[in-house]
Structures are given as structure tokens and as C-alpha cells.
Amino acid sequence: LSTTDAIFYGAHHPYTVALLSSTPVLDPAFQRERIILEGGVPSPANPPPGCRFHPRCPQVMPICSQVEPALEDVGDGHLVACHLVNARP
């Protein structure tokens, strides 16, 4: 689990970032880049190998389609399962 602030202001998984980009913003002066995901949602009965989000991920890497990412602690109780966590400096 994670704190609300960690999710809203420090999302690590591309799916969470895309979901947050779709939420309405109350301040009309604040503009947020909207992330439009391409492709269809995979079948839960037959999920793709590796990361289940990789077919729609805008930051997909070759490892994503081959290896399921481990759940990593990125601090403050914020857990994320994404290969990008280990790829970031």
C-alpha cells in the first residue's frame, strides 16, 4: 500500500501515471498532459507473459514482454511492480 501523496505526486508505474492523467483538474490554470493508451485490454483469463500492462505501455522495454516484474519498495511504503524502477538512475 502507499500514501495518497506518494500515488498522486510520485507515481512510478506507467499505468498509474496514465490513470492519473485522465482525472479532472479543478484549477483551470493547471494543464496536465493526457496520456492516451493504445491497444486493447488483455484478457484476464489469458494474460500476456511478462508484465500484464506491456501491450499498452508507452514505456515498454523488451524485458517487459518476457519477465514478470517483481514488487519493489520505492520508499515510504510505496510498492510498484515495473521494470522501469530498476532502469531509473
pLDDT of residue 69 exceeding 70, the answer is yes
Alpha helix (H) residue ranges in 1-89: 4-10, 14-21, 84-87
Exposure letters 58-85 (e unless 16+ CB within 10 A, then b) = eebeeebeeeebeeeebeeebebebbbb
Q: Which residue in the block uniquely carries the three cell numbers 496536465?
A: 32
In this predicted model, what pLDDT tens digit does every residue of 4-52 receive, in sequence order? 777 777 788 898 889 888 888 888 888 788 898 898 888 999 999 999 9
69 vs 23: CA distance, rounded Å: 26
Residue 36's Cα: distance from chain center in Å?
13
Q: Model-level pTM?
A: 0.74
